[in-house]
Copies of this chain bind each other. A is one copy, B any other.
Amino acid sequence: MPAPVDPTSPQRDYPQREDDVIERIAQIVGQRNIPKGERHIGDDAAVLAPFVGQAVISTDVAVLGVHLDPELFPLEDLGFKAVAAAVSDLAAMGARVRGAVVAVTAPPGTDLEELHRGMADASIVTNCPIVGGDLAQGRDVSVAVTVVGECPGRGAVYRSGAKVGDEILVTGPLGRSAAGLRRRRDGAPLSDELVVAHRRPWPRLSEGMAARGAGAHAMMDLSDGLGLDLHRLCDASNVGFALFDVPVAAGATYEEAIAGGEDYELLITTDDAARLRLVFLDRGLREPITIGTVVADRSSRTLRGEFFERRGWQHQL
């Protein structure tokens, strides 16, 4: 959005500034090969070739100093994590990603190129083209990423579809991201394996599409930790759960596995776990891990028979 302008103010003496910056950034995040019939950065809006099936959209905002400690991590990690978090929301629906737009605020002097290099990296590894964006001045460095995708076939998988008797599965062991943050705070280098898991989260797009194809009943991503997100899924589905296991990643603590968040593994329920495993196997994906069962009593939420309390990350607003 343009800022209101007094046409007599001196700002009109520098009319090239914004267009110049946007052109430099477009070089960093833009695609080399834009598909025929598409138009990305440079017009009022981006144009994408027709979607197949439902359109799926999600937005996610990350703020430097809130979502990333600038003393511990380079600015490009903010860009990477913001894109990855948004893409993960589409993975959680079983969607195929079609593109992202990024809206950035930053104070003067911010290294916008470094920030956008992080976004470009995430765009490449998730195969999610950055097709447009906006820039404005602000006191915070913030990145709002919106991703769009498509769900052909049977359509998106919701949180609300879990059925009594469903198996509950996760796509990988938990707690790596929180463990990486702890290790970084304790002085581990940026290249440490768990620190990388925190800096460069990997959205489970292939797993999400495989789970949709295999007829999963309910799905979400574990962005805020199993201890919060499993409750949210069961709230939406009006069911309870009985867990028998929490798979803790090597190097992570139990507490990190259930309340750490930012793992972006998928939480899946299905009445045909054998089929789910087969589809994952067939697509070369890591075998999902069964952690429990959906139960009818909405208030019954247990791990090995003990009440499993609701805990995990919530922003203070």
Interface residues of A (CB under 8 A from B): 1-8, 11-12, 14-19, 21, 37, 39, 42-63, 66-69, 81-82, 85-86, 88-90, 92-93, 95, 98-99, 101-106, 108, 112, 131-140, 142, 144, 146-149, 151, 155-156, 158-160, 177-178, 181-182, 198, 220-221, 223-225, 228, 232, 236, 253, 255-256, 258-262, 310-317
Q: State whether A82 touches B8 (Cβ < 8 A).
A: no
With A17-B317, A314-B16 given, is the CB distance from A262 to B4 under 8 Å? yes
Q: State whether B317 touches A135 (Cβ < 8 A).
A: yes
Contacts of A223 in B (CB 8 A): 1-2
Closest 9 CB pairs of A and B: A144-B144, A45-B58, A146-B146, A44-B92, A103-B144, A1-B85, A61-B103, A7-B259, A59-B101
Contacts of A311 in B (CB 8 A): 7, 12, 15
Contacts of A228 in B (CB 8 A): 15
Q: State whether B98 touches A55 (Cβ < 8 A).
A: yes
Closest to A25 in B: B317
In the complex, A228 Cα to B99 Cα: how many Å?
A: 28
Contacts of A259 in B (CB 8 A): 5, 7, 12
In the complex, A232 Cα to B22 Cα: how many Å?
A: 13
Q: State whether B44 touches A48 (Cβ < 8 A).
A: no
In the complex, A313 Cα to B136 Cα: how many Å?
A: 12
Q: State whether A59 touches B140 (Cβ < 8 A).
A: no
Q: State whether B43 touches A11 (Cβ < 8 A).
A: no
Contacts of A106 in B (CB 8 A): 317
